[in-house]
């Protein structure tokens, strides 16, 4: 049975961020993920998680100035020092709550810039980060994010490019974050894709399409996909990175067999 993790950046937004942890635990979630915990002091973050009874399974490295349009900076040739300094914060937060996975967002390629140079920078920064976590129980994840709807100009928007980058880094610490919603938009053929990539997948996320709402609101057949993950042998977490169509608890009927 897939293990579901509530994404607190998108779910339970009826509540302040610090209060969403307890709400997720009360709803039955045993895992929690979020985009970025950095708005909370480390001790507040740790206390909120402990109060939930759940464990933190994933969050992102600092993505830059999200409000100003940043969507990561690890591939930006002009921000190498900034990324590497910010990685210290990611490690400090991960250590405080024993989080075993950090998503390293590549960023949006500026118009007219050399994509190959951005890819080279991403590889170098991932290699640096992999060395930093070599002795830690922490994996680094890279996620193809759709560039058609949600993040135009996002560098890593397809699984083949993600796998090329993982191969170039050459570290077992760098794995694939497979988001079903993003890959439905960009590639389709979901179960064959998951089966082919499964040895490299360190985390899966879901949302329906279109709309990025909860399963059952769109075209993706989650009643087939979620049981299939068991058949394929996936034993990791599935992050619920969706925007509830209404109130969060009212939209959890689809998950009653999993939490």
pLDDT at 258: 87
* Percent of the residues in the chain that have a pLDDT greater than 70, as a whole number: 100
- What's the structural domain count of the chain? 1
Q: Is the pLDDT of residue 172 over 90?
A: yes
pLDDT tens-digit map of 72-118: 999 999 999 999 999 999 999 999 999 999 999 999 999 999 999 99
pLDDT at 231: 96
pLDDT tens-digit map of 219-259: 999 999 999 999 999 999 999 999 999 999 999 999 998 88
Contact assessment for residue 64 and residue 107, using Cβ atoms and an 8 Å cutoff = yes
CATH of the domain at 165: 3.20.20.150
Q: Tell me which residues are annotated as active site.
A: 143, 241
Other residues' Cβ atoms within 10 Å of the Cβ of residue 75: 30
Token pair, residue 169, equals: 């880094």
Residue 75: give the domain boundaries: 3-255
- Cis peptide upstream of residue 210 (ω within 30 degrees of 0): yes
Nearest to 104 by CA among 55, 143, 68, 132: 143
Burial bucket for residue 55 (CB in 10 Å: 0-12, 13-18, 19+): middle
pLDDT tens-digit map of 22-42: 999 999 999 999 999 999 999
pLDDT at 68: 96
């Amino acid at each position: 049975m897939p293990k579901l993790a509530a994404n607190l950046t998108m779910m339970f937004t009826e509540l302040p961020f610090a209060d969403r942890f307890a709400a997720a635990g009360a709803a039955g979630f045993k895992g929690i993920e979020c985009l970025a915990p950095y708005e909370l002091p480390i001790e507040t973050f740790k206390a909120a998680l402990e109060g939930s009874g759940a464990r933190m399974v994933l969050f992102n490295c600092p993505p830059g100035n999200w409000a100003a349009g940043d969507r990561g900076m690890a591939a930006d040739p002009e921000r190498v020092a900034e990324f590497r300094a910010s990685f210290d914060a990611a490690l400090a937060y991960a250590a405080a709550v024993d989080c075993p996975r950090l998503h390293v967002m590549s960023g949006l390629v500026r118009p007219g810039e050399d994509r190959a140079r951005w890819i080279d920078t991403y590889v170098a920064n991932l290699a640096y980060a992999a060395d930093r976590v070599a002795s830690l129980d922490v994996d680094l994840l890279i996620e193809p994010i759709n560039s058609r709807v949600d993040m135009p100009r996002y560098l890593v928007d397809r699984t083949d490019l993600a796998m090329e980058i993982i191969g170039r880094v050459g570290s077992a610490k760098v794995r694939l974050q497979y988001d079903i919603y993003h890959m439905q938009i960009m590639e389709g053929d979901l179960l064959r894709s998951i089966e082919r990539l499964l040895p490299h997948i360190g985390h899966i996320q879901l949302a329906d399409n279109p709309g990025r709402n909860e399963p059952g609101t769109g075209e993706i057949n989650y009643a087939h996909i979620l049981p299939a993950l068991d058949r394929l042998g996936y034993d990791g977490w599935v992050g619920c990175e969706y925007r509830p169509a209404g109130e969060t608890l009212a939209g959890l009927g689809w998950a009653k067999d999993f939490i």
